[in-house]
């Protein structure tokens, strides 16, 4: 493996992890276990607040007196008709102040979102809307509800169910209201929100997104077994392919395929779909070189079990010599796990197409080339599931530009 250029995509669809969420009905398509930092969150400390994520809890500390707030969004993944859930708690030893905790939904960015929040001090809830002008609207005014568990050290489970332009609100699995709002075209980002009057602490657990019965299923994929829950079909204007041009690479979309051209030797381009973590799944994609390119030892393949751009597994093929490679990146350093001899499953030659599939199940990963099993191995996958993507690299003896095309990137669950 060689020098790596990482690209972060700022859009997404739906992901699935195998575990359920007791207070989030439906098929769980995303959850944050809060055992480690999700790469799509911005948890950097700021003078007025900090977030520590560990042990199943996101602890949000507001460090200055006065009305302070902290919004966290899972940047990238967008959801349509779903249940968005989080459990909010306060610290028993802190003074009873107006500490507000909530779930963010229908967000387009940090300047435009809705927030369903609860105040456990006075037993009230509300929905606030952050407007691009910097002002706040109140689609649902502060309302007292007996279903709120009041007091410091208590927890409340919040759920927003979105359907079209209607949001239905639940606290501790009890319906408390509905309202009509403005859902972003193509779905909204989600997250959590904390606000306090003093130097307060809020604790968030059990964050999950679950698909509802009305969610539109994605079309089946013939070569990717299971129920399809994420696809990048690489349409024109695909926001996933936002690779910044540089001296080493060009990227974009061409004819329904993602296209990456490597312009120098020993150059790697990594691409991930942050904010979407997958557990047991089939991850599939098709790769081809251009028939007019020179045959060099360029490689391409699937990334899986990733937590960020510094910690990745990659399953790659070399269409020039028919070899495949399994590599692991830990803390930015690569280790080659398998470097095969030429394998008959690989269609060799420029312009040829090869379909790769990684099947993850528990701590096992099985690797397929053109539906033929070529390797299985065991490892320690990330807690809560891993991020997926793809990777291409140029030959160390590069003499002319090398182009890879990627199509039908799909994730399907059993």
Specify the CATH number for the domain of residue 102.
2.60.120.560
On whether residue 16 sits in a domain, the answer given is no
Note the pLDDT of residue 215.
43
Return the closest-CA partner of residue 209 out of 254, 153, 276.
276
Residues 55, 201 share a domain: yes
Note the pLDDT of residue 66.
59
Q: What is the pLDDT along the chain (414 residues), one digit of tens a residue?
A: 544 444 433 222 233 333 334 468 888 888 888 988 888 888 887 777 888 888 899 888 877 665 668 888 998 788 988 999 999 998 888 787 888 899 999 999 999 999 999 999 999 999 999 999 989 999 998 988 889 999 988 999 999 999 888 898 999 998 888 888 999 988 899 999 988 776 788 899 999 999 875 445 566 677 899 888 778 888 877 666 667 778 899 998 888 999 999 999 999 998 887 656 677 889 999 999 999 999 999 999 999 999 888 999 999 999 999 999 999 999 999 999 999 999 999 999 999 999 999 999 989 999 999 999 999 999 999 876 788 999 999 999 999 999 999 999 998 877
Residues 192, 262 share a domain: no
The span from the CA of 277 to the CA of 41, in Å, is: 13
On whether residue 177 sits in a domain, the answer given is yes
The span from the CA of 325 to the CA of 127, in Å, is: 51
On whether residue 252 sits in a domain, the answer given is yes
Residues 189, 41 share a domain: yes
Residues 204, 350 share a domain: no
Return the closest-CA partner of residue 393 out of 347, 329, 341.
329
The span from the CA of 149 to the CA of 2, in Å, is: 54
On whether residue 156 sits in a domain, the answer given is yes
Note the pLDDT of residue 218.
64
Note the pLDDT of residue 374.
97
Domain boundary among 211, 230, 248: 211
Q: Virtual CA dihedral for 78, 80, 85, 88, nearest 10 degrees?
A: 60
Residues 253, 189 share a domain: no
- Which one-letter DSSP state was computed for residue 79? B
The span from the CA of 315 to the CA of 333, in Å, is: 16
Residues 249, 192 share a domain: no
Residues 199, 172 share a domain: yes
Q: Judging by beta carbons within 10 Å of its beta carbon (0-12, 13-18, 19+), is residue 385 exposed, middle or buried?
A: buried
Domain boundary among 156, 176, 211: 211
Residues near 42 by Cβ (< 8 Å), separated by ≥ 6?
Answer: 72, 75
Residues 163, 136 share a domain: yes
Domain range for 229 is 3-10+218-413
* Interior angle at CA 347, CA 373 and CA 4, nearest 5: 80
Domain boundary among 211, 244, 262: 211
Residues 146, 260 share a domain: no
116 bridge partner residues: 103, 127
Residues 156, 298 share a domain: no
The span from the CA of 168 to the CA of 252, in Å, is: 39
Residues near 403 by Cβ (< 8 Å), separated by ≥ 6?
Answer: 259, 260, 261, 262, 289, 290, 293
Handedness of CA 138, 140, 141, 146 (dihedral sign): negative
On whether residue 18 sits in a domain, the answer given is no
On whether residue 241 sits in a domain, the answer given is yes
Residues 146, 258 share a domain: no
On whether residue 22 sits in a domain, the answer given is no
Note the pLDDT of residue 174.
87
On whether residue 378 sits in a domain, the answer given is yes
Residues 306, 378 share a domain: yes
Number of domains in the chain: 2
């Amino acid at each position: 493996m060689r020098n790596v250029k990482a690209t972060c995509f700022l859009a997404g669809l739906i992901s699935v992890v195998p575990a359920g969420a007791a207070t989030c009905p439906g098929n769980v398509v995303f959850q944050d276990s809060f055992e480690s930092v999700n790469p799509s969150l911005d948890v950097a400390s700021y003078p007025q607040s900090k977030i520590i994520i560990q042990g199943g809890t996101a602890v949000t500390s507001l460090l200055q007196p006065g009305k302070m707030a902290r919004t966290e969004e899972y940047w990238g993944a967008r959801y349509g008709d779903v249940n968005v859930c989080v459990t909010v708690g306060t610290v028993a030893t802190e003074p009873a102040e107006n500490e507000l905790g909530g779930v963010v939904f229908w967000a387009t960015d940090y300047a435009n979102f809705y927030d369903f929040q609860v105040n456990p001090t006075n037993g009230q809830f509300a929905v606030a809307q952050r407007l691009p002008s910097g002002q706040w609207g109140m689609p649902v005014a502060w309302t007292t509800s007996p279903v709120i568990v009041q007091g410091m050290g208590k927890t409340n489970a919040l759920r927003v169910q979105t359907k079209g332009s209607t949001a239905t609100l639940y606290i501790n699995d009890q319906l408390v209201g509905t309202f009509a709002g403005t859902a972003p075209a193509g779905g909204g980002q989600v997250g959590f929100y904390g606000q306090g009057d003093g130097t307060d602490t809020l604790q968030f657990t059990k964050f999950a997104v679950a698909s509802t019965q009305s969610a539109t299923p994605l079309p089946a994929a013939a070569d990717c077994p299971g129920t399809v829950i994420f696809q990048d079909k690489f349409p024109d204007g695909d926001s996933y392919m936002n690779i910044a041009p540089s001296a080493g690479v060009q990227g974009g979309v061409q004819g329904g395929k993602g296209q990456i051209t490597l312009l120098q030797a020993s150059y790697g381009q990594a691409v991930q779909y942050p904010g979407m973590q997958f557990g047991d799944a089939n991850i599939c994609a098709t790769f081809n070189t251009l028939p007019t390119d020179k045959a060099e030892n360029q490689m391409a393949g699937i990334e899986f079990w990733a937590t960020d751009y510094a910690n990745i597994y990659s399953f790659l093929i070399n269409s020039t010599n028919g070899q495949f490679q399994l590599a692991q990146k830990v803390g930015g350093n690569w280790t080659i796990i398998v470097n095969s001899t030429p394998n008959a499953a690989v269609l060799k030659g420029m312009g040829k197409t090869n379909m790769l599939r990684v099947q993850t199940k528990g701590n096992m990963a099985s690797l397929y080339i053109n539906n033929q099993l070529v390797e299985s191995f065991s490892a320690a996958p990330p807690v809560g599931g891993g991020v997926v993507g793809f990777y291409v690299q140029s030959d160390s003896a590069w003499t002319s530009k090398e182009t890879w095309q990627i199509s039908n990137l799909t994730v399907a669950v059993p």
